[in-house]
Structure 1
Amino acid sequence: MSGSIQTQHTVFALDCPDAPALAGFYATLLGWEVDRTDPDAEWVDVRPSSGDVGYHIACQQVEHYRAPEWPVGDIAQQAHLDFYVTSIAEAEPCVIAAGGTRHATQPSETGSFVVYLDPVGHPFCLCLVDSGD
């Protein structure tokens, strides 16, 4: 059988030590909403406040969580998120205010993207909408 699946919705799940806290970070950063149907659940969804756009982020609490080490280390990055913005300089204060940090390593030679870490160490990038990197 060949072809592709036709998804109705896509979820990007991030492991973490505290699902509500990480969900709060991404909700604050993106202006989305935390959707927590079960207050004791170890899975918390973060959804766009504009309704279902076909994707959302989920935070999954796991025991013995270890943050990825990027760009080198024993614990590989495994995945990361890219958020496309019209101005990194204008968006960066939102990252910092929400609890994110700018990573010491910045591989973009042109400044068309900047690497950050969420509060539990997942790398993510702010990328310029019209970037060539």
Structure 2
Amino acid sequence: MRTRMKLAAITLDCPDPLALAEFYQQATGFEPHPKSDADFAGLTREDGLLLGFQRVDDYRAPRWPDQTVPQQAHMCFDVPDLDEAEARLLELGAGKPDHQPHDPTRARVLTDPAGHPFCICLDSPRG
């Protein structure tokens, strides 16, 4: 019998956990974790998934696509409308790197306020 694992949490390093949690809370609608503080903040999804943000002294933001400071993690979010999602995320403080390796009608790379790259992908059934 194989042991099945269920993803319970994803945690990102950052300089300001509460600020990054606020960005992702506005972007995703996940609920703030009640025990969030200046050193570790979290958001929870209805199914229990925790998106965490931990303070790191001397944090260095990833340099995407350059790997002098590697991205170390990469998240993708499905969205129903790429243009609408991109505009809203940029308004919330996301950045948009010049390098866009995907078909822009299917996916786009953005960076969160702490520099982590993430993709927004046109929501479609996965095969």
Give me the TM-score of the superposition, normalised by structure 1: 0.84
Residue-by-residue CA offset, 1:84-106 (whole Å, 9 max, x unaligned)? 01110111122012111112110
- Could you tell me which runs of 5 or more consecutive residues in structure 1 were left unpaired when the two chains were aligned: none
Tell me if 1:81 matches 2:75. yes
Matched residue SS, 2:27: helix
Give the structure 1 partner of residue 35 of structure 2: 37
Q: Percent identity?
A: 35
Q: Do the aligned partners of residues 31 and 38 (structure 1) sit closer, same or farther apart at CA in structure 2, a change above 3 Å counting?
A: closer
**Letter paired with 1:58:** G
Measured on the aligned residues, the alpha-carbon RMSD in Å equals 2.0
Give the structure 2 partner of residue 4 of structure 1: 3
Shift of 1:73: 3.2
Q: Do the aligned partners of residues 36 and 20 (structure 1) sit closer, same or farther apart at CA in structure 2, a change above 3 Å counting?
A: farther
Matches within 5 A, 1:67-106: 67-106=61-100
Shift of 1:36: 3.9
For 2:36 and 2:42, the matched residues in 1 are separated by 11
Whether the aligned pair in 2 keeps the contact of 1:112 and 1:131 (CA below 8 Å) is no
**Letter paired with 1:120:** A
Matches within 5 A, 1:48-59: 48=45, 51=46, 53-59=47-53
Give the structure 1 partner of residue 108 of structure 2: 114
- Could you tell me which runs of 5 or more consecutive residues in structure 2 were left unpaired when the two chains were aligned: none
Tell me if 1:130 matches 2:124. yes
Q: Do the aligned partners of residues 22 and 79 (structure 1) sit closer, same or farther apart at CA in structure 2, a change above 3 Å counting?
A: same
For 1:47 and 1:99, the matched residues in 2 are separated by 21
Shift of 1:27: 0.3
Shift of 1:130: 2.2
